[in-house]
Amino acid sequence: MPELPEVEVTCRGIAPHLVGHQVLAVRVRNPNLRWPVSPQIQQLVGQTIRAVTRRAKYLLLDTEAGVLILHLGMSGNLRVLHDPPAPAKHDHLELELDSGAVLRLNDPRRFGAAIWWQLPLDAQPLLAHLGPEPLTLGFNAEAFQARLKGKTTAIKTALMDNKIVVGVGNIYANEALFAARIHPKTAAGALSRTRLERLVQEVKQVLSRAIEQGGTTLKDFTQADGKPGYFVQQLHVYGRGGEPCVACGQALTEIKLGQRATVFCRRCQK
């Protein structure tokens, strides 16, 4: 599944091609995504895209008439095509722009979404209860500790809870906890302010590095320009269960935590 860095890279990749351009046509070839695509999406036609932003793993295309909310689901991707080939089987949605370019959503598993929203964004059910963005000042040790107070759930599970902080998916939770030397099963509410300060710092660093390198290519993701991400070359624990720890050489342990693969070093992470 594309995680926050991949979505941010996509946002940055498509924005220069969309902002300031008018939508000439909206073509919905298959409305049966995670939620049915509403016919009201045709209200985009004639609108100028004012901004392309990201909230958690949602991409927001802002116009005067409303906002198109896009989610890439498990395997979706967006492409800006200036000489588009004929639509393929899984090309479900496209916007034709006055520049001649086409923004095309491809989603083999159809777990993505395209939602036309015309009310304030804070009233949107998918966005209303999200926690702070991890790369903003709103995600800090003080606020993090307050959200974790009294929680006995594992810190890795809490770190992946979008009501606590958004966008820290499985890959980057594994990596940040390793960098912070915190055992993933540690009770979230038991961590000291000092340890949380380090964890917050490591979350920001690991996400920032991933964005700089274009996201992590695992199976389905490639950037908006078709180039893959390279952060996978820097993964220290994720996907490396049984391999030696890069810090101490001990074999890394892999378990299931919250139904997600969790890899850590028993010696380095306490």
* Binding residue positions for DNA: 90, 109, 151
**Per the residue annotation, which of 57, 79, 104, 195 is the catalytic one?**
57
Q: How far apart are CA 164 and CA 264, in angstroms?
A: 22
Catalytic entry in 34, 209, 260, 267: 260
Question: What is the C-alpha to C-alpha distance for residues 76 and 104, in angstroms, rounded to an integer?
Answer: 10
Confirm if 76 and 107 have CB atoms less than 8 A apart: yes
Q: Of residues 2, 5, 134, 184, which has the active-site annotation? A: 2
| Active-site annotation holds for 3 | yes
Let me know if 57 is a catalytic residue.
yes
Q: CA-CA-CA-CA torsion for 14, 15, 21, 26, nearest 10 degrees?
A: 50
Binding residues: 90, 109, 151
Q: Rounded to 5 degrees, what angle do the CA atoms 168, 75, 163 make? A: 25
Compute CA 90 distance to the chain's CA centroid, rounded to the nearest angstrom: 21
CB 222 within 8 A of CB 106: no
Other beta carbons within 10 angstroms of residue 260's beta carbon come to 16
Please pick, among 3, 6, 8, 94, the residue that the annotation labels catalytic.
3
Catalytic positions are 2-3, 57, 260
